[in-house]
Amino acid sequence: MNYLLEKYKDEEAKAKDFLEDKNTLQGRILALVEDIANQEEKIKDLRIHKVEVKNQINEFEILLDDSKVVDENLLNENARMKAQNTKLEEDTKVLLNNIEEINQKIELNAILNDIDINELKLLTQNNAVVQNSINTLMSKWDKVNSKLAEMEVKSKNKEEI
């Protein structure tokens, strides 16, 4: 009986050990199942994150393409405006020269407006009168000189005789 009892105790100890091993293994299995569930959830989250990242990459590529188009348009417009600016600068130079010529003409007109036409006519008449007077005086002077010359010649002739 002792033998059976001992055997029973050994078997009971073994059963307890097996039960403990079973409980430990079940706990580990539960932990592994939980870990697998967590890992599957993480994989699902990572897949969702991967899709979101791909979507963001696609959005950034679209934005980049849009930015390239806008950049190209701005560069084209900048080149067009540079050409237009150059033309406008040349036109401005021509217009400034025209303005300078017009200003000079305006100054000349102002000077000419200051000259009174009636005054010019009067001065012309006065000049004509003075010129006539001078011509008359010169012709009289010539007559006087010629008379004096004749008188001198006569007086020399008288003295020689």
pLDDT, tens digit, 9 for 90 and up, residues 70-124: 999 999 999 999 999 999 999 999 999 999 999 999 998 888 777 777 777 888 8
Same domain? 32 vs 89: yes
**Cα diameter, the chain:** 218
Same domain? 65 vs 90: yes
Same domain? 19 vs 97: yes
Query: What was the pLDDT predicted at 126?
Result: 87
Query: What was the pLDDT predicted at 112?
Result: 77
Same domain? 70 vs 105: yes
* Cα gap 77→61, rounded to integer Å: 24
Query: What was the pLDDT predicted at 143?
Result: 92
Same domain? 24 vs 97: yes
**Domain end (from 114, 130, 151):** 114
Mean pLDDT of the chain: 90
pLDDT band at 132 (very low <50, low <70, confident <90, very high): very high
Query: What was the pLDDT predicted at 46?
Result: 95
The structure tokens listed for 123 are 């001065």
Number of domains the chain contains: 2
Same domain? 69 vs 85: yes
Which of left, alpha, beta for 115 (phi over 0: left; psi -120 to 50: alpha)?
A: beta
Handedness of CA 28, 30, 36, 39 (dihedral sign): negative
Same domain? 146 vs 99: no
Query: What was the pLDDT predicted at 161?
Result: 62
Same domain? 94 vs 154: no
**19-41 average pLDDT score:** 93
Query: What was the pLDDT predicted at 152?
Result: 86
Q: How far is CA 155 from CA 23, 109, 149, 158, 160, in A?
A: 180, 64, 10, 5, 9
Q: Which domain holds residue 24?
A: 2-114
Backbone dihedral angles phi then psi of residue 116, each to the nearest 5 degrees: -85, 125
